[in-house]
């Protein structure tokens, strides 16, 4: 019976352990000067040990496959959804929510995911891991989050980050100047904003569905140069003229309908993988324009701009670094002098978030015409039956004659034209 590839590898490893010089091996108090002789000896006297090593390797391989299969499974039952409201008595000063991503090569995705199960055991949220990186939003106590970040920044996927990010310091909501604050984007919230902890292996941490947008392009220094800080982004939008540039929202329509930057184009897409088709259909209109993009936290813009640079290679394309979240935090934490000099924020409405908080904003104002309509929008992703107009090119919450009534909100109409 021919020797399996695995067993040959194990035998070669065993022989290397016994090798003391380039042409000399030592085993069982016997010296060998021929690879053939030591091979015969191993086959005769150590077959049981070789078989045991092979069995152990096969068991480890099967365990890894089982873990891989479990980590690839659907997070919850089909048709289930995340909570859309939270009622708890948590002391919010003792808890927080973090939102971050990193496009980087993950050498062992299964181990990285299993380690997350250990270090995130006391938290709730969603962690998506692929060979291209990690995408996560987690909620928990300040202590648990700090312990997690100290571990995370010491792992292989984070081996290339600066020392400032690796420093074991507490992540504070009011300390916006630290590297950890800028990267992990903390916000107020508790573990009840998610129903559970979900750690999953995926093909893409942000599913664009374009095989040409690979990790090498996302890590290219030229790609990083197209990121605008919140202050630069605000300055450009505050001084813009109608035809200076195109401002493009890369999120889904149900997100942009409750909040967006002033003057932004809002593509009628239901999921991010539809974004490339939208660009292909409208690329002629975009030629010769400077294009600014934004999303919730930056992860979609990374891939969106990489794809657009392939499709529109001659255009200048930029993204808001850290997304809407970073812009709102920057605006809220400007110093007194800045507040006197600046006008109003260029952000309008609420920033949609995928947890029970539903949305975050600079104030209580909403761009939706009434509370009932806003309530419907917030629930759109959870209740897909509400998505009755996803074939439309434009969707608005406005009182018009030809409209579709939602629930029992008699004075509020959901319409499309």
Q: Match 């200048």 to its residue by tokens.
A: 316
Residue of 333, 403, 323 lying closest to 369 (CA atoms): 403
Phi, psi of 199 (to 5 degrees): -120, 120
Cα 330 from Cα 324, distance rounded (Å): 10
User: Phi/psi at 127 (nearest 5 deg)?
Assistant: -125, 125
Give the separation between CA 188 and CA 208, rounded to whole angstroms.
Answer: 29
Active site residues: 295
Query: Residues 6 or more apart from 282 whose CB is under 8 A from it?
Result: none
- Contacts of 400 by beta carbon, 8 Å cutoff, 6+ apart: 413, 415, 417
CA distance linking residue 293 with residue 300, whole number of Å: 10
Measuring CA to CA, which residue among 101, 154, 106 is closest to residue 130? 106
Q: Write out the DSSP string of 118-180.
A: HHTTT-EEEEEEETTEEEEEEEEEHHHHHHHHHHHTTSGGGTTS-HHHHS-----TT-TTSHH
- Quote the tokens at residue 194: 């998610």
């Amino acid at each position: 019976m021919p020797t399996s590839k695995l067993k040959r590898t194990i035998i070669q490893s065993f022989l290397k352990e016994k090798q003391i010089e380039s042409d000399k091996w030592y085993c069982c108090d016997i010296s060998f000067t021929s690879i053939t002789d030591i091979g015969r000896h191993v086959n005769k006297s150590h077959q049981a040990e070789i078989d045991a090593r092979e069995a152990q390797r096969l068991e480890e391989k099967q365990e890894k496959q089982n873990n891989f299969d479990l980590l690839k499974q659907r997070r919850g039952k089909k048709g289930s959804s995340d909570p859309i409201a939270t009622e708890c008595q948590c002391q919010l000063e003792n808890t927080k929510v973090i939102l971050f991503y990193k496009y980087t090569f993950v050498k062992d995705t299964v181990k990285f995911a299993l380690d997350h199960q250990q270090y995130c055991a006391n938290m709730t949220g969603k962690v998506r891991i692929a060979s291209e990186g990690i995408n996560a939003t987690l909620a928990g106590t300040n202590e648990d989050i700090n312990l997690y970040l100290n571990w995370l920044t010491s792992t292989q996927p984070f081996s290339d980050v600066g020392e400032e990010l690796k420093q074991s310091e507490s992540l504070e909501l009011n300390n916006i100047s630290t590297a950890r604050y800028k990267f992990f984007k903390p916000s107020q919230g508790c573990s009840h904003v998610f129903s559970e902890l979900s750690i999953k292996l995926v093909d893409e941490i942000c599913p664009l569905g374009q095989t040409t947008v690979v990790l090498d392009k996302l890590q290219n220094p030229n790609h990083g140069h197209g990121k605008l800080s919140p202050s630069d982004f605000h300055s450009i939008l505050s001084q813009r003229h109608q035809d200076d540039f195109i401002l493009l929202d890369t999120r889904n329509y149900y997100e942009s309908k409750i909040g967006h930057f002033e003057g932004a184009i809002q593509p009628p897409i239901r999921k991010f993988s539809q974004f490339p088709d939208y660009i292909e259909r409208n690329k002629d209109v975009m030629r010769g324009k400077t294009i600014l993009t934004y999303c919730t936290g930056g992860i979609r813009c990374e891939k969106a701009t990489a794809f657009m640079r392939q499709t529109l290679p001659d255009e200048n394309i930029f993204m808001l670094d850290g997304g809407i979240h970073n812009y709102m935090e920057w605006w809220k934490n400007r110093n007194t002098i800045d507040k006197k000099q600046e006008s109003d924020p260029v952000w309008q409405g609420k920033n949609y978030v995928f947890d029970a908080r539903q949305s975050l904003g600079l104030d209580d104002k909403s761009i939706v015409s009434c509370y009932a309509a806003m309530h419907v929008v917030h629930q759109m992703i959870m209740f897909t039956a509400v998505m009755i107009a996803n074939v439309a090119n434009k969707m608005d919450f406005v009182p018009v004659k030809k409209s579709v009534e939602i629930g029992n909100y008699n004075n509020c109409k959901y319409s499309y034209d």
